């Protein structure tokens, strides 16, 4: 049985693919295509993005980005992941710095919205992966159960339900949002 080697891609290769309309992530040099996630996913991302923006922008706390932004986490082989929403504090990523490629520092907050094709295990593993690279807070939004799993370093994940309130913890002190607001139309 012959085994063929997979050609590992670089972050530069991924940028070129994106310019050709091919969207994906790199995990240790291996390309993983990302598919469109649907209207519900987009509505939740937009609602939470607006709420975070209303809190972050007037206070000039940092940079808030949407899902087309890659974060370069590892080199040789390269890992570039794409969160649904990410917040970089001004201390971590100065707001006056123009970045035309991937962010090369991990965000302070990552939001992942579970897509219909995602498995619970894959999403849990992705949240833990973000923490392992220095992200301080990860919210995993579960549209099917109307819950948000909150991950912080060295703590067990906490599941918030429709009756709970999401908060920014030490990353965005003072930010709150009722979980039900993410899912109500």
Asked, for residue 42, whether it belongs to a domain, the answer is yes
Specify burial of residue 135 (Cβ count, 10 A radius: 0-12, 13-18, 19+): buried
Between 156 and 119, the more confident residue is 156
Above 90 in pLDDT, residue 3? no
> 42-77 in b/e burial notation, b at 16+ Cβ within 10 A?
eebbebbbebbeebbeeeebbbbbebebbbbbeeee
pLDDT the model gives residue 85: 97
Q: In whole angstroms, what is the distance from residue 85 CA to residue 67 CA?
A: 6
Q: What is the DSSP letter of 105?
A: S
In sequence order, the β-bridge partners of residue 86 are: 65, 110
pLDDT the model gives residue 132: 96
Range of the domain at 119: 37-183
Asked, for residue 56, whether it belongs to a domain, the answer is yes
Above 70 in pLDDT, residue 4? no
pLDDT the model gives residue 93: 94
Above 90 in pLDDT, residue 5? no
If one counts every other C-beta atom within 10 angstroms of the C-beta of residue 111, the result is 24
Q: What is the pLDDT of residues 10-19, one digit of tens each?
A: 999 999 998 8
Asked, for residue 171, whether it belongs to a domain, the answer is yes
Asked, for residue 5, whether it belongs to a domain, the answer is no
Asked, for residue 15, whether it belongs to a domain, the answer is no
Specify burial of residue 115 (Cβ count, 10 A radius: 0-12, 13-18, 19+): middle
Q: Are 169 and 141 in contact (CB under 8 A)?
A: no
Asked, for residue 8, whether it belongs to a domain, the answer is no
Q: What is the pLDDT of residues 75-129, one digit of tens each?
A: 999 999 999 999 999 999 999 989 888 999 999 999 999 988 888 888 899 999 9
If one counts every other C-beta atom within 10 angstroms of the C-beta of residue 182, the result is 22
Residues 6+ apart with CB under 8 A from 39: none
Between 36 and 176, the more confident residue is 176
- Return the SS3 of 68: coil
Between 157 and 121, the more confident residue is 157
Domain count for the chain, please give it: 1
Percentage of the chain beyond pLDDT 90 is 76
CATH label of the domain that carries residue 84: 3.90.1570.10
Asked, for residue 30, whether it belongs to a domain, the answer is no
């Amino acid at each position: 049985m012959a085994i063929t080697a997979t050609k590992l891609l670089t972050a530069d290769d991924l940028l070129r693919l994106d310019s050709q309309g091919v969207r994906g992530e790199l995990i240790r040099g291996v390309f993983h295509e990302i598919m469109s996630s649907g209207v519900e996913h987009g509505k939740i991302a937009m609602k939470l993005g607006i709420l975070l923006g209303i809190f972050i922008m007037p206070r000039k706390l940092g940079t808030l980005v949407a899902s087309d932004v890659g974060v370069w986490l590892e080199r040789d082989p390269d890992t570039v992941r794409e969160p649904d929403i990410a917040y970089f504090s001004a201390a971590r990523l100065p707001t006056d710095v123009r970045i035309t490629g991937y962010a090369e520092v991990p965000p302070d907050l990552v939001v992942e919205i579970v897509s219909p094709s995602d498995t619970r295990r894959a999403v849990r593993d992705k949240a833990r992966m973000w923490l392992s690279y220095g992200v301080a807070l990860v919210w995993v939004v579960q549209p099917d159960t109307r819950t948000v799993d909150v991950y912080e370093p060295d703590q067990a994940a906490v599941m918030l339900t429709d009756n709970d309130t999401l908060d920014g913890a030490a990353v965005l002190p003072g930010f709150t949002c009722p979980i039900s607001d993410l899912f109500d139309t």
